[in-house]
Amino acid sequence: MTVRRLARREVVDALRSYWFVLDAALFTAGGLALVLFGGGDAEVLGYRGYARALAGLAQLAMFFVPLMALFPATAALAGDREAGTLEYVLAQPVTRGEVFLGTWVGVATAVLLSLVAGFGVIGTVAVARGVPGALVAGLLGFTLLLGAAFTSVGLWLSAGASTRSRATSLGLTVWIFLLALGSLGVMGALVRWGLPASALEAWTLANPVEAFRVAMVAVLDPEASVLGPVGASLIGTLGRGGLVAAAAGSLLLWSAAAAGLGLRRLATYTEPRS
C-alpha cells in the first residue's frame, strides 16, 4: 500500500517534469524520423533495408533513454530532501526501504510509460513498413532494461545528495563518463595498454551503455557492420544469442546493484540539521 502510494506520487511528479517530457518527445520524434527517412533502400532489401535505421534508433536510445531516467531519478529523493518533503515522509510510519522502493517503482514506471508510448508510435510505423514486430519488441525490451539501469543509478546518486542540482550534475557526469568509456575508451585502451580481447569484452559488457549498444546492433543489423572490433569479438566468443543474454544480464545487474547501493545510502544517510 505504502509503496504503491509513494510510487503513484513519483509517476505524477515525473510526468509533470518539463525536462522529462521534452526528452521523451525528442526521442520519439528522432526515432520516427529515423524510421521514416532512414530506410531508403527498403523497397529493394525489405526489412534489411531498415536494419541501419533501427541501429540508428538504438544509438538514439543510448543517448536519450539514460537522460530520460536520470532526470526524474536524480530529482526524486534529493529534490524531496531539498524541499523538506523527504523528512516529512520519513516521519510517517514507513521504512526507508519502502520509500526507496516506492520511488524506484514510480520513476521506473514513468520512464516505462513514456518509452512504451514513444515506441508505440515508432514501432507502429516500423512494422507497417515491413520490420518484424519481434525486432521492435526486442528493441523496446532492451530500451526498458537500459531505462531501469539508469533509474537505479539516478536514485543511488540521489539518495546521497543534499540537493537536486548536485544529484543531477553527478548523474550527467556518470552518463558522459560511461559514454566516453564506450567505443572511444575501448579503442584507447587497446592502443595504450594492448589489453587482451577478453578484458575488452568484459569492459564492454560491464558498461551498461555499451552492453546495450552491442546487443542491439547484434540483433538489429544482420551484417553487424557497426558493431566494432570488440562487438565482433564478442559475437565470436558468445554467439549472437549469448551476447544478447550477457548484455541483458549486465543491465539487470546494474539495475539491481545500483538500487541496492541506493537503498543502503538512503538507509544510512543522516538528514542534515535543519
3-state helix, strand, coil in the chain (%, to 5): 85, 0, 15
Q: What is the largest CA-CA distance in the chain?
A: 68
CA distance linking residue 120 with residue 118, whole number of Å: 5
By CB under 8 A, tell whether 91 contacts other proteins.
Answer: yes
Nearest to 262 by CA among 4, 38, 63, 77: 77
Q: How far is the CB of 6 from other proteins (least distance, A)?
A: 8
Contact 149, 107 (CB under 8 A): no
Q: How far is the CB of 168 from other proteins (least distance, A)?
A: 17
Q: Which is nearer to other proteins, 27 or 71 (CB)?
A: 71
CA distance linking residue 130 with residue 71, whole number of Å: 34
CA angle 90–93–95, rounded 5-degree value: 60
Looking at 25-33, 55-63, 78-86, 147-155, which segment touches other proteins (CB under 8 A)? Answer: 78-86
Find cell 556518470 and name the residue.
174
Instruction: Give the contact letters, 16-55, x = binds to other proteins (CB under 8 A), - = no.
Output: x---------------------------------------
Looking at 9-17, 22-30, 38-46, 155-163, which segment touches other proteins (CB under 8 A)? Answer: 9-17
**The three three-digit cell numbers of residue 165, written as one number:** 542540482
Q: Which is nearer to other proteins, 76 or 234 (CB)?
A: 76
Please count the residues of this chain forming the interface with other proteins, following the rule CB under 8 A: 25
By CB under 8 A, tell whether 87 contacts other proteins.
Answer: yes
CA distance linking residue 26 with residue 134, whole number of Å: 24
For residue 272, the SS3 value is coil
Q: Which is nearer to other proteins, 122 or 161 (CB)?
A: 161
By CB under 8 A, tell whether 88 contacts other proteins.
Answer: yes
Judged by CB under 8 A, the residue of 22, 25, 83, 199 near other proteins is 83
Sheet strands (E) in 3-149 = none
Footprint of other proteins on residues 255-274 (CB under 8 A)?
267, 270-271, 273-274
Q: Report CA-CA distances (Å) from 30 to 26, 116, 163.
A: 6, 15, 32
Q: Which residues, other chains included, contact 45 with Cβ-Cβ below 8 Å and sequence gap of 6+? A: none
Q: Which is nearer to other proteins, 42 or 90 (CB)?
A: 90
Looking at 4-12, 125-133, 146-154, 222-230, which segment touches other proteins (CB under 8 A)? Answer: 4-12
Q: Which is nearer to other proteins, 37 or 92 (CB)?
A: 92
Q: Which is nearer to other proteins, 159 or 227 (CB)?
A: 159
By CB under 8 A, tell whether 13 contacts other proteins.
Answer: yes
Footprint of other proteins on residues 92-111 (CB under 8 A)?
92-96
Contact 226, 123 (CB under 8 A): no
Binding residues for other proteins, per CB under 8 A?
1-2, 5-6, 9, 13, 16, 83-85, 87-96, 267, 270-271, 273-274
